[in-house]
Chains A and B, each alone.
Chain A
Amino acid sequence: AQTVTQSQPEMSVQEAETVTLSCTYDTSENNYYLFWYKQPPSRQMILVIRQEAYKQQNATENRFSVNFQKAAKSFSLKISDSQLGDTAMYFCAFMRYTGANSKLTFGKGITLSVRP
């Protein structure tokens, strides 16, 4: 079974600065997807970024980028130029690459606060 660990329960960052959220996972699979989801106070789950394990290039979406270290089973999210709207809970998630059992496994989440 896969496990996803987010060891930092809370983080805080000053507006306009950069912050990195950590995530590690454990799997025996070679091909899989990794995701970061954002959950603002509205409760909506929003996909932030997606990484396919077979791709060596780190995924980037505007101010959000990942540092994917496959051998270390590490998948951190970097938020550049933090904005007040980035205040939210962030979840790291794992999914097998293919097949009927491709379900999302989530970490416990980290609460990020952006200070004005």
Chain B
Amino acid sequence: NAGVTQTPKFQVLKTGQSMTLQCAQDMNHEYMSWYRQDPGMGLRLIHYSVGAGITDQGEVPNGYNVSRSTTEDFPLRLLSAAPSQTSVYFCASSYGQGGHIYGYTFGSGTRLTVV
């Protein structure tokens, strides 16, 4: 059981380039989220999804797009990379039961540097 898998683990981009951070989970979790972690800021929510075909914005969505065509995958797209998007990105998933959601499982993160 792989859990939550993020690729790549490290990436360097030039300003203006686009890329997709991949996230896949094999636990049949309905809830998936993307966070970014910056020093002194904790983790901040970028986008989240409550199921295939359903996504919504979090606290810091600007410059990022998501889609959820399957339960397993939740890719995060950077449309035109900016140095302010230099960060560590985490994908997380969770399941619900009876309307209640249980703790999130996190991927190992992607360290992105935009130069």
Contacts and interface: CB of A to CB of B under 8 A. Distances in A.
B103 A43 contact: no
Nearest to A100: B50
Contact of A43 (B101, B104, B108): B108
Interface residues of A, number: 25
A98 B94 CA distance: 12
Contacts, number: 57
A100 B109 CA distance: 24
Contact of A44 (B41, B48, B108, B111): B108
Contact of A91 (B43, B88, B103): B43
A99 B101 CA distance: 8
B42 A103 contact: no
Contacts of A9: 40
A84 interface: no
A108 B33 contact: no
Contacts of A95: 101
B33 A104 contact: yes
B106 A103 contact: no
Interface centre among B48, B58, B92, B106 (most CB of A within 10 A): B106
A78 interface: no
A68 interface: no
Contacts of A97: 100
B45 interface: yes
A50 B101 CA distance: 12
A106 B42 contact: yes
Interface string A74-108: 00000000000000000100010111101111111
Contact of A104 (B45, B88, B108): B45
A102 B106 contact: no
B31 interface: yes
B40 A108 contact: yes
A24 to B, nearest CB: 14
A91 B104 contact: no
14 contacts: A9-B40, A33-B101, A33-B103, A42-B108, A43-B109, A47-B104, A91-B43, A95-B101, A100-B50, A102-B96, A103-B48, A103-B58, A104-B35, A108-B41
